[in-house]
Structure 1
Amino acid sequence: MADSFVGLSPMLAEKARRLIDLLKGFGSCVVAFSGGLDSTVVAKAAQVALGNKALAVTGVSPSLAAMELDECRKLAQLIGIRHIVIETEELSNPAYQRNLGDRCYHCKSELFGKLGDWAARFGMAVVVDGSNKDDHGDHRPGLKAAKEKNVRSPLAECDFTKGEIRELAKYWGLPVWIKPASPCLSSRIAYGEEVTPERLMMVERAESFLREHGFTTLRVRYHRGDLARIEVPLEDLPRLMDNTLRQTLTQRFAEIGFKFVTVDLNGFRSGSLNNLLPAESLEIFSRPEGYVLAAVKGRE
């Protein structure tokens, strides 16, 4: 019997039914599965709609934290969807390494290209991702890559907002309904600074240290000169500045490879590195008519 989505608002229940129907209409699909809120809801919906005709695929590279891969495996098992892990090679692309405003375009182009190959290998009709209505108002060059690779975005096509996706995840009992956004490690590297495996490892180890000390919502941003900029919610700043923890933190960050450690007094802000991009590049990337690479001037 089809899920009637009792308990959801009438509008959200109707969107959920549309989502299931849309996925059923594909006949089969490969889900670009990162283990975040959006892709997990798509994976769950695909499993409900298509059963074994849905396949979740996670791309692994140095930009994916080890803990995120573990979460992907656990979530796929919880959902009951078939799941495989593949290696992606975006770090071998000089355009990705340069880390200008188009880094996500090159990452998604690599990922979606490989997912398309796997879809063909398994006889799947389409590749789907987790982008949603709210993503189209942010700096998202990866959306252009999705369009070029003919990737479908069921949540966006069914007009889901981020808040509605959280509600649906909670309804389905998915633990990610309260999970904060967790983009790839490369997103912590300031634009214009080269993305390298060594810098990604520095960020991952620094963030792991903070999690081990009880911080849950956080970012460690890498800036020029091996400088770490820590972002935590404002209410966590006093605990971060505790003298004992501060001394332990600075010692550990130095061991990791950071020469300087700073704390952002504005607190945690998702996407704060976008402030380093010229306004014209944000405008160009959001134009619906196509992708144009905007030059990002060197920054001191």
Structure 2
Amino acid sequence: MLSLDPNLQQKLIHLKTLFADMERALIAYSGGVDSTLVAKIAVDVLGDRALAVTAVSPSLLPEDLEEARLQAATIGIQHEEVATHELDNPNYAANPVNRCYFCKSELHDTLRPLALERGYPYVVDGINADDLQDYRPGIQAARERGARSPLAEVGISKAEVRQLSQWLGLPWWDKPAQPCLSSRFPYGETITIAKLQRVGRAEYYLRQLGYRTVRVRSQADTARIELPPEQLQTFVTTTDLPALVETFQSLGFLYVTLDLEGFRSGKLNQGLATDAHPLD
């Protein structure tokens, strides 16, 4: 069995203590590796005094929602779903650089009343220590609404999230990050339900081909495929490119391109490290 180094063991103990002190907690649960680890620790400590809630909107791929349901059932936590309507907010749909602020505002404005109604004094999320180093305006929205981030509070990094998940025997410990579909659009391009669905189906097509870490960036009528750099040559030489193009065009794209730099998390945030938008 995998062993944990003493530092990470202490972080895990601290994490469990945080939940024990909360007594009851509602987890903002997306099904990603971070929020699932939070949900796992919460249910281990609190039992039926922990509740995982998934926000369902057009920015969540249906297949990812199904995975979240299966993972919640596997770890044994109570799981509910609630609709959010971030696209109804023109500030969100316009896709400004602080779009995530309006998304998380909608999420926590929905979860906080639900938590209080059900007797949960705390809403917690899956923000980890590394997230604090990127431009994440959604973190501000969560903090303004009193949400807590146990992983970040304890100083657990993304790599440590995966180590803990693997140590706990969670089969999705190496699951690729899957941020909401709205992150596929360059800032300033209006987001619509149709565009979200187009991107979602395109990514699902590539995932069915076996590419786990993939992004389809959408810019107007162009799809730009991002894959890990080491997979680019294999993709070009083994993929039925005419069939792929036909599929993407059937979804509504006119042009299909491949990003030769390859996938890099947070790529659309490059250039935002300015006085107006510091990456902190």
Tell me the TM-score range normalised by the shorter chain.
Answer: over 0.9
TM-aligned CA deviation for residue 15 of structure 1: 0.6
Is residue 164 of structure 1 aligned with residue 155 of structure 2?
no
Question: For structure 1, which segment, 134-143 or 173-182, has the greater mean C-alpha deviation from structure 2 after superposition?
Answer: 173-182
Give the aligned residue type for 2:104: K
- Report the counterpart of residue 250 of structure 2 in structure 1: 255
The 8 Å contact of residues 14 and 154 in structure 2, kept in 1 or not, is answered as yes
Aligned equivalents of 2:19, 2:92: Cα separation in 1: 32
Cα deviation, 1:30-89, whole Å, max 9, x if unaligned, reads 000001111011000100111000000000000001111011101111111100000000
- Report the counterpart of residue 33 of structure 2 in structure 1: 37
Give the aligned residue type for 1:195: I
The 8 Å contact of residues 218 and 268 in structure 1, kept in 2 or not, is answered as yes
Cα deviation, 1:100-125, whole Å, max 9, x if unaligned, reads 11110100011011110110121011
Per the normalisation by structure 2, the TM-score is 0.96
Aligned pairs for 1:1-300 (under 5 A) are 7-224=3-220, 226-242=221-237, 245-275=240-270, 277=272, 279-283=274-278, 286=280
> Unaligned stretches of 5+ in structure 1?
287-300
Cα deviation, 1:228-281, whole Å, max 9, x if unaligned, reads 110011222123223761111111111110011111000111111112647334
The 8 Å contact of residues 30 and 68 in structure 2, kept in 1 or not, is answered as yes
Question: For structure 1, which segment, 273-282 or 246-255, has the greater mean C-alpha deviation from structure 2 after superposition?
Answer: 273-282
> Could you tell me the percent identity over the aligned residues?
47
Per the normalisation by structure 1, the TM-score is 0.90
Aligned equivalents of 1:227, 1:276: Cα separation in 2: 21
The 8 Å contact of residues 166 and 178 in structure 1, kept in 2 or not, is answered as yes
The 8 Å contact of residues 191 and 276 in structure 1, kept in 2 or not, is answered as no
Distance 1:227 1:43, change over 3 A: same
Matched residue count: 280
Distance 1:281 1:262, change over 3 A: farther
Give the aligned residue type for 1:250: V
Give the aligned residue type for 1:270: S
Aligned equivalents of 1:238, 1:46: Cα separation in 2: 43
Aligned equivalents of 1:11, 1:164: Cα separation in 2: 10
Aligned equivalents of 2:5, 2:27: Cα separation in 1: 26
Give the aligned residue type for 1:22: L
- Report the counterpart of residue 292 of structure 1 in structure 2: none
1:203 partner SS: helix
Aligned equivalents of 1:153, 1:264: Cα separation in 2: 34
Cα deviation, 1:157-216, whole Å, max 9, x if unaligned, reads 111111111111011111221011110000011111011000001101111111122211
User: CA RMSD of the aligned region, Å?
Assistant: 1.6
Distance 1:81 1:238, change over 3 A: same
Aligned equivalents of 1:243, 1:81: Cα separation in 2: 41
> Unaligned stretches of 5+ in structure 2?
none
The 8 Å contact of residues 88 and 111 in structure 1, kept in 2 or not, is answered as yes
Aligned equivalents of 2:7, 2:74: Cα separation in 1: 27
Give the aligned residue type for 1:209: Y
Aligned equivalents of 2:199, 2:135: Cα separation in 1: 22
- Where does structure 1 differ by over 3 angstroms across 4 or more consecutive aligned residues? none
The 8 Å contact of residues 226 and 259 in structure 2, kept in 1 or not, is answered as yes
